[in-house]
Structure 1
Amino acid sequence: MNRFQRDTAVEPLGGGAFGARIDRGWWILRGPNGGYVAALLLRALTAAVADPARPPRSLTVHYASPPVEGDALVRTALERVGRTVTAATARLEQDGKLRALALASFAAPRPGPAFSRLAMPEVAPPEGARPLEATAAFPIPMRERFESRSVFPALGGPAGPGEPGSAVSEAVAGGWIRLREGPPAAEPALVAAYTDAWPPAIFARVAPTELASGVPTLDLTVHFRAPWPADADPGDFCLALFRSRLARDGFVEEDGEIWTRGGVLLAQSRQLALLG
């Protein structure tokens, strides 16, 4: 068991309840990273569904208040178990306070038409990319949990045209990412964590120093589009791409894609976040 698995582990307490512990090693400014919280909730939901034939297809998390370090309680409910789809909810609570609320759908593969207009971006391999740590505006504990290498110009580094806060045409960010501590498991919880593990794409247009409170997530939705391929090493880098197209009234949206090195789209994500 690696640190990610340990820090997102849940303990069954009976009646759909699970014990958990929020670890400070996943902190970003005022609280834990949203992807970390999503991964923890997904573990509880998966345990509650208890059906390996029905993997998660969709997860939405609404963040009500920042969790604090320490013990937490996750209350799950199977809202409906249908012939093909299971709908489940989860509440993350601490001392009776709601921290996050999640809704997920679990379903087996089903026959139907298939097509794709998506292609993995052509970028430099991780071996030749610059570590994200070299471009980070300020230290954040959660960044130490991942090995990240930037390939998109939105985080091009202090000397590059895409320095955070510079005038670039698009708010795009991302690069290669993997857990720093392995060996990881090929599991949806890790994919969920990846969808919120990169500095916000808005930093391509607005300097992080202009957002004193950061860019806290209001809600995060993850659509799991494919299982980890059998021939793919979950300890290898995944390519994470994030775009923001609209910032208004103090809110910004961000769309994400998580790809294996071999070009399999593992997940799509969307979140709405506050602007400092």
Structure 2
Amino acid sequence: MSTDFETDTAAEPLGDGRYAINLSDRWWVGRGPNGGYVAALMLRALTAEVDSLEPESKLPPRSLNVHFLRPPTAEPAKIEVTVEHAGRVTVFLSARMVQDDEVKAQAMAVFSGERDGPNFDKSQMPEAPAPEELEEMDTEQAPVAVFGRYRAKFIKGVPGEAGDKAETMGWIRLRDEQPVDPVLAAAVLDVWYPAPFVVFEELPFAPTLEYTVHFPRTIPEPGPPDWNLIRLTAEEGVEGHFSEDAELWSRDGKLLAKARQMALLRHRRS
């Protein structure tokens, strides 16, 4: 049985690189969709297109970059995928989300298989209490619909505390108990509240302009659902813009995916 996330990110192939999608407001933030949800939809269609080229190879995504031109509505839309170059173990693609004859989002992606080479790993998971040691947040009462689709346990960085450092961290998992995969990781990395919220007393409005996700390793085949650690940091917010870094870690300390985004930083309308 499919989870709500799988249903709401489904991409039906129509042929010639075109996919039908149906955006659901279960993943909304205010008047439009969460950027991570749009990225997940794009990656779902991109993955399907790569799999159609080499059904046996299952090349994993390594990079996804999405630009958000204008917010789509909670209605059907199409994603148009173009294979820009296909090599033996690497595929470059572009995609457009189109609704009512308007381009809502554009994406570029790289899928690349594992290959021999010198390896190193200097990544280090942040110190954090185990999820079993923490109380669960009541996300179903959150002011935005998308956060209610997840379970969360807060560790640090309180919105509105006017702190000295724009950093926030917690444990997170899908409420529907789905193990993390690349499509879900693309959504999760944008669902936690923005790091700049920690340095202000009055919370700003922070819509995403551009969002990039990197997958440093092939995310393992889905196993039992579990908590994942998420950390968000930002160094500056100037001229009405900020860039934010996000990391998603497995419980056993593997860096599953990381993201960087450029977003607006605006006063909320009264």
**TM-score for both structures, normalised by structure 1:** 0.90
The 1:195/1:234 distance shift into structure 2, 3 A limit, reads: farther
Q: Hey, what's the Cα distance between the residues in 1 that align with 2:130 and 2:91? A: 39
Compute the displacement of 1:82 (Å).
1.8
Give the conservation status (yes or no) of the 8 Å contact 1:226–1:264.
no
Tell me the alpha carbon deviations over residues 46-86 of structure 1, each in whole angstroms, 9 at most, x when there is no partner: 11111443110000000000111110110000000023310
The 1:196/1:210 distance shift into structure 2, 3 A limit, reads: closer
Q: Which amino acid aligns with 1:260?
A: S
Identity %: 41
- 1:158-197 correspondence runs (5 A): 164-182=159-177, 184-197=178-191
Q: Hey, what's the Cα distance between the residues in 2 that align with 1:253 and 1:238? A: 23
Q: State the match for 2:44 in structure 1.
A: 43
| 1:59 equivalent in alignment to 2:27 | no
Compute the displacement of 1:185 (Å).
4.3
**How many residue pairs align between the two structures?**
261
The 1:234/1:221 distance shift into structure 2, 3 A limit, reads: farther
Q: Which amino acid aligns with 2:209?
A: L
Partner SS for 1:131: coil
Tell me the alpha carbon deviations over residues 150-190 of structure 1, each in whole angstroms, 9 at most, x when there is no partner: 112x12xxxxxxxx2323221001210000013x1442101
For structure 2, the residue ranges without an aligned partner over 5 or more in a row are none
Q: Hey, what's the Cα distance between the residues in 2 that align with 1:133 and 1:199? A: 14
Q: Which amino acid aligns with 1:17?
A: R
Q: Hey, what's the Cα distance between the residues in 2 that align with 1:14 and 1:45? A: 13
Q: State the match for 1:158 in structure 2.
A: none
**TM-score for both structures, normalised by structure 2:** 0.92
Partner SS for 1:245: strand
Q: Which amino acid aligns with 2:70?
A: S
Q: State the match for 1:77 in structure 2.
A: 82
Compute the displacement of 1:234 (Å).
5.0
| 1:241 equivalent in alignment to 2:211 | no
Give the conservation status (yes or no) of the 8 Å contact 2:197–2:203.
no
Q: State the match for 2:207 in structure 1.
A: 216
Q: State the match for 1:159 in structure 2.
A: none
Q: Hey, what's the Cα distance between the residues in 2 that align with 1:103 and 1:132? A: 35
Q: State the match for 2:120 in structure 1.
A: 115
Compute the displacement of 1:126 (Å).
1.2
Partner SS for 2:226: coil
Q: Hey, what's the Cα distance between the residues in 1 that align with 2:224 and 2:208? A: 26
For structure 1, the residue ranges without an aligned partner over 5 or more in a row are 156-163
What's the Cα RMSD here?
1.8
| 1:147 equivalent in alignment to 2:151 | yes
| 1:87 equivalent in alignment to 2:77 | no
